[in-house]
Chains A and B, each alone.
Chain A
C-alpha cells in the first residue's frame, strides 16, 4: 500500500497541474477501492478460517463428560469484539453437521461474558479466540477451559500462552499449528491424520 501511495502521489502531482477536480476524484476512488479491497480480503480470510474450524471439528474427539450425548449439538464459540464477520461465515455451517452433530455458533465479546454465559450456551467444544482477548485469561482459567474445549487461536502468541491450536496465515494460505504441551493436559484428542498434517509448535 505504501508503494502504491508513492506512485499515486507522482501521478497526482502531474495531474494537479492539469485538473484539480480530477485529482480529487481519483483520490476518492483510490480510497474507496483500498477500503473495498480490505473488506473483501478480511471476509475471505474469515471464510477460510470458518471452513478450517468446521473441518477441524471432524478430526477431533471430545471427552464424553464434555458432551451429554452423541446427539447433542456441537458448539463453536468465538471470543472477541470484532467477531461479526467470522460469526457470519460460521453461521453458514449451522445447516451442516459434523460427525452427525448439528452445529451451533456462539459469540462472546469478553472473557467475563464467556465465563458467565458459556454454560448457558451448552459449553464450547471449540473456542476460537480473536486477537486481544486471550491475554486476559489466567493459567487456571485456560487449564479449566481446555479440559473440554479445543482452544484455537490465530497467532503464535496464542500458542505461547497455552493455546492448543492456531490457524496462522502465511501469504494466502492458512497453516495449522498444534501445541503438544497444551494438548497433553486436555482430554480432547486430535486424530493422527490431522496431527500429521499440522505443524508442531514450537517447531524443532
Chain B
C-alpha cells in the first residue's frame, strides 16, 4: 500500500501530488522570501530605531556636556529604558587636548571607559550584538561621543515567530490545497474514468460499436471524439480483417490441393532431371572414354607412322636382297655365275641384311616404347618408373602431332628420379597439356616453347608446365577445369581436355593442380602429387 502511494500509479494520485507539490513549493518560496524580507526589515527597523534615538539623545546631550552636567547626562541616558535592546550606553566629552573623558553611562556607572569607541562610528555587528558611536556636535564642533551597545535578541524571537507563522500558514494552505484537489479531481477525472471503463469494456468484449459520450465542450470531449474515431477505424479494420481471414481460409483449402498437385509435378520433374543427370554422366563418361580412345588412336597413328619408316626400309632392303638373290640363283643355274657376281651379291646382301636388321631393331625399339605407353594409357596400373626417361618416351610417341607446330620442348628433371604412380594417368596428363598448347596456345606465336620442370619436394613431386602461348583471360581461366568449356567450340574442341587432366591429377595421382595465366603471357600449370602411392 505504501509503495503504491509513492509510486503514484494513478492519475488521481499524480494530480493531487502535483497540486500539493506546486502549492508547497510556491508557499515555501514565497514564505521564505517574505520571511527574509521581514527579518531584514525588522533588523533595519531595530537599527534605525537605535540610530534615531541615539541621534536625538546626542542632540540633547550637548548642553549637559558643555555645562559639565553629568547628572543631566545620566538622566538623559536613562531614556534608553524604553529601548530594551540597548544593553549599555556611555557618553564622553572631548577636552581641549582632544582626549575623551567619561561623563556618564547606562545602566550602571562604568569604572573604566570603553576603549576605542571611535571605531564604532561605523556601526558594527558581532553576532546579535550591535555597537554604535555617535558624535555629539554643537555649533559645528564635536564636543563628545555617545557609545551604544545593543543586543538584538528580539531578532531571534522574531525569526522564531516568523518560522512558526510560516509553518502554520503552509500547513493550513497545504490542507486547503489537498481538500480542493480532492474535491476537483473527481470532477475533472469523471470523463476520464468513464473513458477508461469504456476502453476496458471494448477490450474485454471486443465490441467496437460502443461510443463515448462527447457532448461536453472541454479537452475530454476532443479526446472522446478522437477515441470514437479510432473505434470506427478499428471496427472498419476488424470487419476487413475478418473478410480477409475468410478469404485466406478459403484460399488455404484450395492451396493444399494445389500444393499436392505441384508436389506430384515436381516429383516427376525431379525424376526426369535425375534421368537427365544420369544421361549426362553417362555422356560425360562416354566423352571422356572417347577422348581417351582418341588420344590412344592418335598414339596408334603416331606409332604406325614412326614404325612405318624402318619397316619400309627393312622391306625395301629385304626385297632388294631377294632380287639380288634371284639374280644369283639364275646365274648359278645357268652356270654364268662368276666370282665377281658372287662378290657383288655378298657385298649387297650383307648391306641389305645390315639395313634390314638395323631398321627392324629400330622398329622393335619404337614398338617397345609405344607398347609401354599404350599399355599405360589403356590401364590404371601403378608402377615404378624413371620419370625422365618416361617423359622422353611420351614425347617420342607425340612426335607426329608435334611435327606440325614443332615447338621447342625443354624437359628439366633430375636424372634417375624414380616415382611410383599411375603411369598412364601421368602420360595422359602430359599428352593432353601438350595437345592443348598446340591446339589453343600457339596461334600467331613465333618460337613456340614448352618448358616442363619436375622437382622433388620432400615426399611430393612438383610438375611445372608452362608455354609462351597467347594465354587466357581471367574469366576464361576461372572456367578452365570445368567440363565442356572450350574456346574452340565447333572447331574440334570438346572442352574435356583440361577437365580430364583435373580428374586424372586429383583422382589417379591424388594430387592438386592450379593454372595461372595472363593474356599474352602464356599459360602455366602447377601439379603436385605424392612421390609414391
Contacts and interface: CB of A to CB of B under 8 A. Distances in A.
Interface in A49-73: 52, 55, 58-59
B67 A193 contact: no
B59 interface: yes
Interface in B57-77: 59-60, 62-64, 66-69, 72
A87 to B, nearest CB: 22
Interface residues of A, number: 16
A91 interface: no
A178 to B, nearest CB: 12
B139 interface: yes
B117 interface: no
Interface in A23-80: 52, 55, 58-59
Assign chain B's interface to a size class. 10 to 19
A17 to B, nearest CB: 50
A90 B66 CA distance: 16
B72 A197 contact: yes
Contacts of B67: 52, 55, 174, 176, 197
Interface secondary structure of B, over-half rule? helix
Given A98-B139, A193-B60, A55 B72 contact: no
A196 interface: yes
A16 interface: no
A71 to B, nearest CB: 16
Interface centre among A52, A196, A197 (most CB of B within 10 A): A197
Interface string B42-66: 0000000000000000011011101
Nearest to A56: B67
A73 B95 CA distance: 27
Contact of B72 (A52, A97, A196): A196
Contacts of A173: 68
B60 A55 contact: no
B139 A193 contact: no
Contacts of A59: 63
B59 A55 contact: no
A99 interface: yes
Contacts of A22: none
Contact of B63 (A97, A98, A99, A194): A194
Interface string A93-111: 0000111100000000000
Interface of B: 59-60, 62-64, 66-69, 72, 138-139
6 contacts: A55-B63, A55-B66, A58-B138, A97-B139, A98-B139, A174-B67
What 10 A-B pairs come out closest when comparing CB atoms?
A55-B66, A197-B63, A193-B60, A58-B139, A197-B72, A194-B63, A193-B63, A197-B69, A58-B138, A99-B139
